[in-house]
């Protein structure tokens, strides 16, 4: 029995999730052990995030013209190459084959490939799903794409930790190989879109980031990205500062990431499949859960309350992420699905880029202040969701 093209897209996003989570777990300590500073290590990922932000919209538009399949494949190949280019300098420096002076620029280049090319897979995948899915089923299909990526982020540290026992480089080469497999599967099984019709249609109304059907959703995505990224980048510090005397602190940190990912996946299944809600209610109730989660995390510094807050946070993000993608897609014409997905992809890294300058200074004053700050941002989002007509009336577009 052959595997469908959509299933290969999900597998492709799964492989991306494998590498993305494992890279954040392994590369920073390896780089530090070889002499790079914390700032240099942060810059490696910040530069990549910036490249992702400026290229994602382009790849979305390119998928409208050159076909979803071609752009999705390009993104997977770029991601696979970036994994090899990222681990190879570490491998060479560790064995004294490459001078340590070249390590930082080599790592920047390796991760930059992911930002420039790897950013193509997500918008092409979501645009293809929008092409073949009715509006009524779009939230469910988008949730399954998100879940595929999240499953990868959960499996990445687990599978990568096992492969790490072979050699430090093995996980990167295996994950890269799986991405090449996914690219091959997409090429062989995904039907190419009818790009000629789109290319020759001069009457199609082009969209931009400030179009009325675009910018409200980008505002939501940018603020949610900041709230999520500020949490992810502060988890290690928060647990160390609040529960530093607890044995096996690293296990507590790992459990946090695992609980967050699993609760997000469970939430997507419950509220988009088993008991589906419309996009407006998903956005509204999901953001309310985020407010509750951030507030309890700030007000009750207990490990049990902290884990409860993380689970609730995952439930909230599991509701808002597919609803945001679906609502944005429904608001667009068929010819602009790729462009819209690209614009959304361009704001996803905003949180990672701004957290060091916005969130972490607040955390430095008082850890609780950061989560109060996130609560206030989410309260503002609730009002925005309720009163903005484009978001409130998404289902009737």
Q: What does each C-alpha distance from 151 to 51, 156, 204, 347 come to in angstroms? A: 25, 8, 37, 22
For residues 305-318, average pLDDT: 93
Q: Is the pLDDT of residue 171 over 60?
A: yes
Domain membership flag for residue 60: yes
Domain membership flag for residue 88: yes
Report the C-alpha dihedral over residues 227, 228, 229, 230, rounded to 10 degrees.
50
Q: Tell me the per-residue pLDDT of 322-337, one tens digit each, with 9 for 90 and over.
A: 999 899 989 888 888 8
- Selection from 128, 6, 16 nearest residue 66 by Cα: 128
What's the pTM? 0.82
Q: Is the pLDDT of residue 370 over 80?
A: yes
Entry field: residues in the chain: 397
- What's the mean per-residue pLDDT of the chain? 86
List the domain range (segments joined by +) for residue 243.
Answer: 215-396
Domain at 20, CATH number: 1.20.1250.20
Domain membership flag for residue 90: yes
What band does 395 get if pLDDT is binned at 50, 70 and 90?
low
Percent of the chain with pLDDT over 70: 92
Q: Tell me the per-residue pLDDT of 111-152, one tens digit each, with 9 for 90 and over.
A: 999 999 999 999 999 899 888 888 888 888 888 888 888 888
Same domain, 18 and 164: yes
Q: How far apart are CA 68 and CA 186, in angstroms?
A: 10
For residues 354-380, average pLDDT: 90
Point out the least confidently predicted range of 93-102, 198-207, 284-293, 340-349.
198-207
Same domain, 185 and 321: no
Same domain, 156 and 234: no
Same domain, 162 and 89: yes
Helices then strands, counting H and E runs in the chain, come out as 16, 0
**What local confidence, expressed as pLDDT, does residue 257 receive?**
77
Domains in the chain, number: 2
- The torsion region of residue 67 among left (phi > 0), alpha (psi -120 to 50) and beta comes to left
Q: Tell me the per-residue pLDDT of 373-387, one tens digit each, with 9 for 90 and over.
A: 999 999 999 999 999
What band does 1 get if pLDDT is binned at 50, 70 and 90?
very low
CB atoms within 10 A of CB 25: 17
Domain membership flag for residue 195: no
Q: Is the pLDDT of residue 396 over 70?
A: no
Same domain, 46 and 166: yes
Point out the least confidently predicted range of 6-10, 33-37, 178-182.
33-37
**What local confidence, expressed as pLDDT, does residue 27 receive?**
76
Upper half-sphere CA count for residue 267 (Cβ side, 13 Å): 28
Which of 54-58, 179-183, 251-255, 301-305 ranks highest by mean pLDDT? 179-183
8 A C-beta contact, residue 59 and residue 75: yes
Q: How far apart are CA 144 and CA 265, in angstroms?
A: 9
Percent of the chain with pLDDT over 90: 34
Angle, to 10 degrees, between the axis of helix 303-330 and the axis of helix 215-243?
170
Q: Tell me the per-residue pLDDT of 246-259, one tens digit each, with 9 for 90 and over.
A: 666 667 777 787 78
Same domain, 26 and 127: yes
8 A C-beta contact, residue 86 and residue 107: yes
Burial class (CB in 10 A: 0-12, 13-18, 19+), 130: buried
Same domain, 60 and 112: yes
Alpha helices of 67-169 — where are they, by DSSP H? 68-94, 103-116, 121-132, 135-164
- Site of tokens 């206030």: 376
Domain membership flag for residue 97: yes
Same domain, 91 and 224: no
Taking the CA atoms of the chain, what radius of gyration do you get in angstroms?
Answer: 21
Same domain, 161 and 279: no
Q: How far apart are CA 111 and CA 45, in angstroms?
A: 7
């Amino acid at each position: 029995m052959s595997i469908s093209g959509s299933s290969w897209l999900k597998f492709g996003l799964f492989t991306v999730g494998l590498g993305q989570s494992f890279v954040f777990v392994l590369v920073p300590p390896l780089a530090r052990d070889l002499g790079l500073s914390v700032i240099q290590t942060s810059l490696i990922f910040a530069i990549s995030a910036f490249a992702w932000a400026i290229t994602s919209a382009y790849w979305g538009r390119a998928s409208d013209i050159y076909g979803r399949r071609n752009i999705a494949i390009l993104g997977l190949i770029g991601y696979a190459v970036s994994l090899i280019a990222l681990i190879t300098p570490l491998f060479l420096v560790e064995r004294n084959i490459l001078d340590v002076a070249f390590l930082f620029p080599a790592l920047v280049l390796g991760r930059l490939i992911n930002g420039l090319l790897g950013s193509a897979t997500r918008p092409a995948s979501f645009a293809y799903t929008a092409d073949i899915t009715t509006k009524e089923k779009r939230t469910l299909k988008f949730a399954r794409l998100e879940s595929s990526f999240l499953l990868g982020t959960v499996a990445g540290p687990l599978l990568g930790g096992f492969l790490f026992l072979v050699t430090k480089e093995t996980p990167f080469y295996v994950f890269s190989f799986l991405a090449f497999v996914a690219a091959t599967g997409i090429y062989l099984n995904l039907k190419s879109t009818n790009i000629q019709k789109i290319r020759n249609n001069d009457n199609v109304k082009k969209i931009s980031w400030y179009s009325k059907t675009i910018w409200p959703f980008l505002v939501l995505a940018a603020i949610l990205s900041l709230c999520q990224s500020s949490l992810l980048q502060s988890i290690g510090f928060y647990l160390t500062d609040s529960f530093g005397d607890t044995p096996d602190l690293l296990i507590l940190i790992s459990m946090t990431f695992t609980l967050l990912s699993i609760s997000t996946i469970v939430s997507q299944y419950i509220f988009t499949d088993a008991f589906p809600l419309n996009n407006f209610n998903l956005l509204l109730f999901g953001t309310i859960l985020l407010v509750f989660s951030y507030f309890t995390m700030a007000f009750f510094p207990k490990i049990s309350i902290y884990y409860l807050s993380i689970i609730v946070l995952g439930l909230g993000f599991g509701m808002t992420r597919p609803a945001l993608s679906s609502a944005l897609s429904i608001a667009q014409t068929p010819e602009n699905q790729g462009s819209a997905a690209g614009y959304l992809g361009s704001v996803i890294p905003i949180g990672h880029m701004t957290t060091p300058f916005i969130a972490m200074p607040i955390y430095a004053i008082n850890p609780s202040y950061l989560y109060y700050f996130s609560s206030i941002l989410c309260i503002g989002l609730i009002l925005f969701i309720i009163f903005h007509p484009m978001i409130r009336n998404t289902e009737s577009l």
